[in-house]
Amino acid sequence: MALQFGTTYRNALLDQFETTVGATAVLRIWSGAQPANCGTADSGTKLVEMTLPADWMAAAGSGSKAKSGTWSDAAADASGAIGHFRVYDSTGTTCHMQGSAGLAGDLVTDSALTVVGQTVTVNTFTLTAPGA
């Protein structure tokens, strides 16, 4: 039987995640498959790097938390097919989260491909706490 948690706890868990990562987190979008976990070295070609807004996630509600503000990079670093993303602290050294990215996936962008210098925008991103 799976554990279940109340909505208040699930919201607190999600809000604490943003606090732990910190303000102005760094988002990097890579080509290829994501590494085994956040402790594994980066893989693929870094296509995009952007500093997220100071309050990069909205307050949690009903056990989920959506992106806040505009997540956009005015100049892609490399050309390639978007495969996965990683979120780092403001120094860009500690990976706190990773997942699939592109037109479908955990982080949905406005394009499946990047070209050097192109603007890349994250259209949707939502975290959902476990235990519903």
Closest by alpha carbon to 102, among 118, 88, 113, 115?
113
**How far apart are the C-alpha atoms of 85 and 94, rounded to whole Å?**
14
Give pTM, 2 decimals. 0.95
**49-86 pLDDT per residue, tens:** 999 999 999 999 999 999 999 999 989 999 999 999 99
Strand 120-128 versus strand 72-73 pairing type: antiparallel
- What pLDDT is attached to residue 34? 96
**How far apart are the C-alpha atoms of 97 and 79, rounded to whole Å?**
23
